[in-house]
Each structure stands twice: as C-alpha cells, then as structure tokens.
C-alpha cells in the first residue's frame, strides 16, 4: 500500500475522563469489536485475577485504576485504530497531558449520573487549547441518571463545547429500552446482555413509522419523537468540517459495560474522525505525507516486563515511514541510531514491526538515550514542540533507607524521572534531592516501584514549597539575575535538563519576588 493510502486508513485517538466514568471499560469494548480480545476483563474486581487488558502494571491491578497510559492497536473495517488509554486519576494528569500531544482526536467519557466532573473540565481545556476534535460518549445509561437534555446543557456550559447529539436514549435507568441512532436512522433495542454481538438493530427510515410504536410502546415512542424533534431544532446539524476544526462536538449515548451504543460510536468514529494531522516543529509545519520520517517521544516506560529490565520509548510517527534497522537521527544527541526490534502494541503484548506509518505508535528499546520530548528524524535538524513539564503541586525530599543500595536507588530515580512519573530537582545549596509531583498518590507509586522493580527503599521528608518556577537565563537582566541568585540561593535547584528552578514557599513570596526582581523571567512551564 502507498504512503497516502496508509495514512488515510489510520485513526489515532485518546480516551479521557474523570476516574470511574467507564473509560477503561469503553476501551475494552472497542477492542472486542475489533476482534482484538475475545472477552473483556473484570475491570474493577481485584478478587478476579483477570484485570482490564489495558491495565498491566501490578499497582494498577491492585488499586483498580489506570496510572500509566497504555497503547492499544487493532483493525476494524479496514481501518487501523490506535487507542491511547489515559489515566483518569488527577494525580496522573501530567501523563495524560503529554499523551494529548500524540493524539489526532479524543473521546470524552461522561457518567450519566455524575455529569461533567472536575478532571474532565481540565482535560477538555487542554484539548481545546490544541484544537483537538472531540467526540463525547455519555456512559452508563442503564443506571439512573440525569435527563439527556440536562446533560447536553451541562456539557455545553461547563466544558464550553457546542454539541450535537448523534444518538438519543429511549428512556433511562430502569426504563432504558435502547437508543435511536440519529446518524444512521435506526433503533437499537437493549437486552441487558453484555456479550459481543447482542444488540438487535432495527432499521427505521422514518421516526414516525408506526413500527416504532409496536417495538417500544405508544408512550415511549411518542416521547422519543418529541425528544428527537426538540434535539434537532435546538442543536446544530452535524458538520464534519466544524468537528475537525474543534468547533462542534458530536455526542453519543450508551452503556459500555453492557456493550451498548459502542458499535454506533465506533462506526461513526471511523467515518468522521481525522486521519493523522500535521504537527508544528520549531522550524516548520511537518505534514504526514512527506516522504522523510520524523517522530517524537511522548512517553517512556521502564520495566514493562519486570523480568527483563527493559525501557521502552513510545514514539508517535508524524511523517514518512519508520523502517526497522534503518539509521535515524536523534536530534538532541545529534547521533544516528538504529532499531532492530521496534514494537507495535497491544497492551502488554508486543509485536516486532518492520514498517510503521504516520499516526502509529512504536515502542523503541532504550538504554537511557531518550527523554520525553526527543525528536527523531531522517536527518533534518528540528524539534517538535509542545511537550512541557508543568510546575508540580507536591514536593518532598527523597532519602535512601538502605545505604548499600544507593546505586540501585539512583538508577531507579533516574529512570522513573525519565519516564515522566514525577520531576527531580537537586538543591544547589546542599545537593539534596527533591521529588515534585502533580498528585500525592505518585509518591506511593514511586516508592512501590523503586522497591519492586529496583530493590531500593526510600523514605520522604516534607518540604514546604508552594510553586516551582523555571528561571529563564537568556532574557533576564544579568545584574538582577546575579542579585536574585545570591539572595535566593537557599531556594534554588537544578532540574533534570540542567535548568535553574526557584522554589517559592508561598503565593506571597512568589508575588514579592516577581515584583522585586521584575527583570528576572520566571515560568510555570518548563518549555519557554
């Protein structure tokens, strides 16, 4: 197949939501339709050994939450689909923000009873900043929840989206009878059975057809007609152009656990969702159909298989074709590298691939050469933008519990930080190591993984820091910068990239510092 036709059949997207909205369940059901798995895992039950297919780290199985992004690829109706299942838990938000740099579109999952939740708002903001096309899936319709119109209003107001329903529920909770598919003009009746091909799809070309009354009863049929009529009057008609520009968001209703409404979502998705999109680098806009390969590392995962100390760098291919055993330029290190066993993913199952195309995610075995944000090219000197580190919200000193294991601890911290689990700062004054995280749960994850993957034990000590700010050396006034460094020496540290960081212990200190040293530029994001 030619490069343009391979690009055309690729769809790479992320699934985002608040924890417990059913994101991992939806991922599993999409895989069922793709024939990639035969039966779904019991996502929540820790008693059942079979965890969700996409949650493969031990700590995820114990807690029943996703803490790392996993990549899953499968074929459906001749389309190659790459799903990036992201953590919903707010403590792992940074991993999700980075993943959003590698997707071409997203599906936002919303719980019918809880509506729009805090974490969803944050993630959708990031998508809107990047103009990522969004599809909304309202989940758990077989449970009692909010009215469909109330939910659509809430999505418009809280997420600042313009929605258009592509399907509409027939009843809800105990009265849930099925879904009327506005997009395909048919009715799906709900049987409450979660096996693969369960729903009975009845094609109805006209919603006023009396056949509908026979299927669902007069009262339900009449109220459905009123609802659909109101929905088509109130909400704009679907326009693919508006959706692709990020100006219109289609909404689907369903129940992922019961495998209901998922096929409709998938069928519409492969038809309307964007193929791999161009990406901005520091020198120019790179288009997927260019013949020269380029891609960037958006995630690093150590010890995917604890038996073999392996590190994988996840690379999103932006342009050209990536070929096995071909030398490519690692731009930051300015050296050519060859990869003999690039992996394609299916959760923890990996396969070696010879050729990959734009939109695909490949895993490259890494001995420590890669950092998040690194660019690989055929030879061109450029760097892809937009994979920043955010200022952490929690800070602790990290101490070594076992002096005999200091080598293992250093290696473990080093690799976990490269992975982007948290950020490491070294104080200039005394060389003490400080870990900064977005959420408190990450400290537990680090401690657990250091002990189980590197046989090293650590303890923490609290450190009172309100914000970490990156100091821009280049455009700051040299005299003022010198004075700032002298006065604030106790609060200065160096991050993993060698950049200078200032620790402010309160909002007041930060404000006073900014006004006193107005010519010293401080940033809350590492990429400036």
261-310 per-position pLDDT tens digit? 888 899 999 999 999 999 999 899 999 999 999 999 988 876 555 555 56
> Residues, the chain, total?
528
At 474 the three-state DSSP class reads: coil
pLDDT in tens, 220-270: 888 888 998 898 899 999 999 999 999 999 999 988 888 888 888 999 999
> What integer pLDDT is reported at residue 174 of this predicted model?
78
Cα–Cα distance for residue pair 370/463, rounded to 1 Å: 30
> What integer pLDDT is reported at residue 475 of this predicted model?
85
pLDDT in tens, 162-178: 999 999 988 877 778 88
DSSP β-bridge partners for residue 363: 314, 343
- Read off the pLDDT of each residue in 71-89 and give the average, rounded to a whole number: 81
Q: In this structure, are residues 74 and 104 in contact, taking their beta carbons and an 8 Å threshold?
A: no
> What integer pLDDT is reported at residue 139 of this predicted model?
92
> What integer pLDDT is reported at residue 218 of this predicted model?
86
Q: In this structure, are residues 389 and 461 in contact, taking their beta carbons and an 8 Å threshold?
A: no
**Residue 428 reports pLDDT greater than 90:** yes
The token duo for 520 is 């010293």
Poorest-pLDDT segment among 25-29, 194-198, 524-528? 194-198
End-to-end CA distance of the chain: 41
288 or 200, which is more confident = 288
Q: How confident is the model at residue 65 (pLDDT cuts 50, 70, 90)?
A: very low
Q: List all residues 6 or more positions away from 471 whose beta carbon is below 8 Å from its beta carbon.
A: 481, 484, 492, 499, 500, 501, 502, 520, 521, 522, 523
> What integer pLDDT is reported at residue 289 of this predicted model?
95
Q: How confident is the model at residue 62 (pLDDT cuts 50, 70, 90)?
A: low
Choose among 119, 114, 127: nearest CA to 154. Answer: 114
Domains and CATH numbers, the chain: 3-173+236-272 (3.40.50.300), 279-377 (2.40.30.10), 394-523 (3.30.70.3280)
Poorest-pLDDT segment among 62-71, 223-232, 312-321, 400-409? 62-71
**Residue 322 reports pLDDT greater than 70:** yes
- The rounded radius of gyration (Å) of the Cα atoms in the chain is 25
- Read off the pLDDT of each residue in 66-85 and give the average, rounded to a whole number: 77
Cα–Cα distance for residue pair 432/493, rounded to 1 Å: 9
Cα–Cα distance for residue pair 438/67, rounded to 1 Å: 13
Q: Please, is 442 exposed, middle or buried when counting C-beta atoms within 10 Å of its C-beta (0-12, 13-18, 19+)?
A: buried
Q: In this structure, are residues 287 and 281 in contact, taking their beta carbons and an 8 Å threshold?
A: no
pLDDT in tens, 106-126: 999 999 999 998 878 888 887
Poorest-pLDDT segment among 44-53, 192-201, 369-378? 44-53
How many other CB atoms are there within 10 angstroms of residue 119's CB atom?
Answer: 19
Cα–Cα distance for residue pair 196/324, rounded to 1 Å: 36
Q: Kindly report the average pLDDT of the chain as a whole number.
A: 84
pLDDT in tens, 451-505: 988 899 999 999 999 999 999 988 889 999 999 999 999 999 999 888 999 999 9
Cα–Cα distance for residue pair 358/141, rounded to 1 Å: 36
DSSP 277-302: PPEEBSS-EEPTT-SS-EEEEEEEEE
Choose among 312, 229, 240, 323: nearest CA to 274. Answer: 240
> What integer pLDDT is reported at residue 216 of this predicted model?
80
Kindly list the distances between the CA atom of residue 277 and the CA atoms of 245, 288, 447, in Å, as whole numbers in the listed order.
12, 7, 39
**Residue 333 reports pLDDT greater than 60:** yes
> What integer pLDDT is reported at residue 304 of this predicted model?
52
pLDDT cut 70: percent of the chain above it:
86
Beta strands 361-365 and 423-427 are unpaired
Cα–Cα distance for residue pair 521/471, rounded to 1 Å: 6
Cα–Cα distance for residue pair 301/60, rounded to 1 Å: 14
**Residue 67 reports pLDDT greater than 50:** no
**Residue 50 reports pLDDT greater than 70:** no
């Amino acid at each position: 197949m030619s490069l343009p036709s391979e690009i055309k059949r690729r769809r790479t997207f992320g699934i985002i939501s608040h924890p417990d909205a059913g994101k991992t369940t939806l991922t599993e059901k999409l895989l069922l339709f793709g024939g990639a798995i035969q039966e779904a895992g019991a996502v929540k039950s820790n008693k059942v050994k079979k965890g969700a297919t996409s949650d493969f780290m031990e700590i995820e199985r114990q807690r029943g939450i996703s803490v790392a992004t996993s990549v899953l690829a499968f074929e459906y109706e001749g389309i190659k689909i790459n799903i990036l299942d992201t953590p919903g838990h707010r403590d792992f938000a940074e991993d999700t923000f980075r993943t959003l740099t590698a997707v071409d579109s997203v599906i936002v999952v919303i719980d019918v009873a809880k509506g729009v939740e805090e974490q969803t708002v944050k993630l959708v903001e990031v998508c809107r900043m990047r103009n990522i096309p969004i599809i909304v899936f309202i989940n758990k319709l077989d449970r009692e929840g909010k009215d469909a119109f109330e939910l659509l209003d809430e999505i418009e107001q809280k997420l600042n989206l313009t929605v258009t329903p592509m399907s509409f529920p027939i009843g809800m909770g105990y009265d849930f009878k099925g879904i009327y598919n506005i997009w395909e003009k048919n009715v799906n009746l709900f049987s409450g059975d979660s096996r693969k091909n369960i729903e009975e799809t009845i094609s109805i070309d006209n919603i006023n057809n009396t056949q509908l009354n026979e299927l669902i009863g007069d009262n339900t049929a009449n109220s459905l007609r009123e609802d659909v009529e109101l929905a088509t009057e109130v909400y704009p008609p679907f326009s693919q152009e508006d959706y692709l520009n990020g100006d219109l968001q289609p909404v689907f209703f369903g129940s992922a656990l019961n495998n209901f409404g998922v096929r409709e979502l998938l069928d519409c998705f492969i038809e309307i969702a964007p193929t791999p999109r161009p990406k901005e680098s520091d020198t120019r806009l790179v288009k997927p159909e260019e013949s020269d390969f380029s891609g960037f590392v958006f995630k690093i995962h150590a010890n995917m298989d604890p038996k073999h100390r392996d590190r994988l760098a996840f690379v999103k291919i932006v342009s050209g074709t990536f070929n096995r055993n071909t030398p490519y330029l690692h731009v930051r290190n300015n050296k050519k590298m060859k990869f003999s066993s690039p992996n394609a993913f299916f959760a923890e199952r990996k396969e070696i691939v010879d050729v990959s195309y734009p939109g695909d995610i490949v895993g490259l075995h890494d001995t420590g050469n890669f950092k998040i944000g690194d660019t690989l090219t055929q030879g061109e000197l450029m760097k892809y933008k937009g994979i920043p580190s955010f200022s952490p919200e929690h800070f602790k000193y990290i101490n070594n519990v076992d002096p005999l294991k200091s080598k293992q601890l250093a290696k473990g911290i080093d690799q976990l930080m490269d992975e982007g689990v948290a950020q490491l700062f070294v104080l200039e004054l005394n060389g003490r190591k400080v870990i900064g995280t977005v959420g408190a749960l990450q400290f537990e994850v680090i401690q657990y993984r250091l002990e189980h993957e590197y046989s090293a034990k650590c303890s923490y000590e609290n450190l009172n820091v309100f914000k970490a700010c990156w100091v821009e050396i280049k455009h700051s006034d040299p005299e003022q910068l010198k004075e700032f460094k002298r006065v604030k020496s106790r609060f200065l540290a160096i991050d993993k990239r060698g950049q200078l960081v200032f620790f402010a212990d309160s909002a007041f200190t930060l404000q006073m510092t900014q006004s006193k040293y107005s010519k010293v530029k401080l940033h809350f994001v590492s990429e400036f």
